[in-house]
Amino acid sequence: MIFKRTMATSKLATNITHVLSCLSKQQSTTMLGHFSGKYDPWRILIGTILSARARDEVTEQVCEVLFNKYPTVEALAGAKQQDIEQCIQRIGFYHTKARNIIKTSKIVIQQHHGSVPGTMDDLLTLPGVGRKVAGCVLVYAFQKDAIPVDTHVHRISNRLGWVRTKAPEQTEQRLMKIVPKKNWQVVNDCLVSHGKKICKPIQPLCHSCCIERYCKKVGIHKKKINWQKNKK
Ligand code: SF4
């Protein structure tokens, strides 16, 4: 029984490695992937807080403006909330986000000597930082092993048949058990990019999907796939 379970786990791990390898070869990186080569950890942290429920194009533009005006953690910590709000008002929840990024910058200065902390526990103490944002900072700013789970990662992991979970937090816990650790850092980038272009929430483009042969299509109705096929 234990032998069978071990075999199944190792087959799944191999399947996951194939999927991630296909996706990394076929797709361009995400906005946070670009941030990783462009910004320091503090800018990545602030950019990730701002990106929640915001379109990538808007987040990128707002970050440019914000970081030009407030180029250091000290400058942002000393800013007036209404000035920050004016700067980021194209982004949803900008009142709360303005408050959070000022408070976060103050804590980074007061408790971490001006440097963004590099552990999940320390990141979770910062305002506006939940497990997803913290995981993104670990992966994209520090190249540390974490699996940040957003709506795309949660949806696609379930469709592929890797997990059967109801909430992103459960998906993260399950993925950390089944994804080989050497692959943790690419899970978010691969699945977010795939979710935006191919495995969309309402109408996944299964017939243009490079990982179709690995996918169990859990919850995908045949009718929807045939409709897309005919449309092609
Ligand atoms: S085959 Fe369809 S459901 Fe599966 S990953 Fe590709 S687009 Fe998503």
The predicted structure's pLDDT at residue 14: 94
- Over the stretch 49-61, which tens digit does the pLDDT of each residue have? 999 999 999 999 9
- Over the stretch 171-200, which tens digit does the pLDDT of each residue have? 999 999 999 999 999 999 999 999 999 999
Report the interhelical angle of 31-38 vs 184-197 (nearest 10°): 130
Annotated catalytic sites, by residue? 132, 150
Please tell me if the CB atom of residue 198 comes closer than 6 angstroms to any atom of ligand 1.
yes
> Rounded to whole angstroms, what are the CA distances from 10 to 5, 14, 142, 219?
9, 6, 28, 24
The predicted structure's pLDDT at residue 1: 61
Q: Which fold has domain 16-28+147-231?
A: Endonuclease Iii, domain 2 (1.10.1670)
CA dihedral angle for residue 140, residue 170, residue 27, residue 226, rounded to 10 degrees: -160
- Please give the DSSP secondary-structure letter assigned to residue 181: G
In terms of pLDDT, which residue wins out, 232 or 17? 17
* Band (101; pLDDT cuts 50, 70, 90): very high
Q: Are 198 and 204 in contact (CB under 8 A)?
A: yes
Residue 72 CB partners (closer than 8 Å, separation 6+): none
Among 155, 193, 215, name the best residue to mutate to test ligand 1's pocket (greatest count of ligand atoms within 8 A of Cβ).
215
- Over the stretch 118-139, which tens digit does the pLDDT of each residue have? 999 999 999 999 999 999 999 9
Among 206, 218, 227, name the best residue to mutate to test ligand 1's pocket (greatest count of ligand atoms within 8 A of Cβ).
206
In the predicted model, is pLDDT for residue 147 greater than 70?
yes
The predicted structure's pLDDT at residue 207: 94
In terms of pLDDT, which residue wins out, 229 or 191? 191
Domain ranges of the chain: 16-28+147-231, 31-142
- Average the pLDDT over 35-50 and give the result: 97
Lowest mean pLDDT among 7-11, 15-19, 91-95: 7-11
In the predicted model, is pLDDT for residue 222 greater than 80?
no
Q: Which residue CA neighbors atom 2 of ligand 1 most closely?
A: 206
CATH 3.30.450.40 for the 31-142 domain, yes or no:
no
Mean pLDDT, the chain, whole residue set: 94
The predicted structure's pLDDT at residue 27: 83
Lowest mean pLDDT among 23-27, 165-169, 213-217: 23-27
3-state secondary structure of 39: coil
The predicted structure's pLDDT at residue 9: 78
- Give me the percent of the chain exceeding a pLDDT of 70: 92
Please tell me if the CB atom of residue 19 comes closer than 6 angstroms to any atom of ligand 1.
no
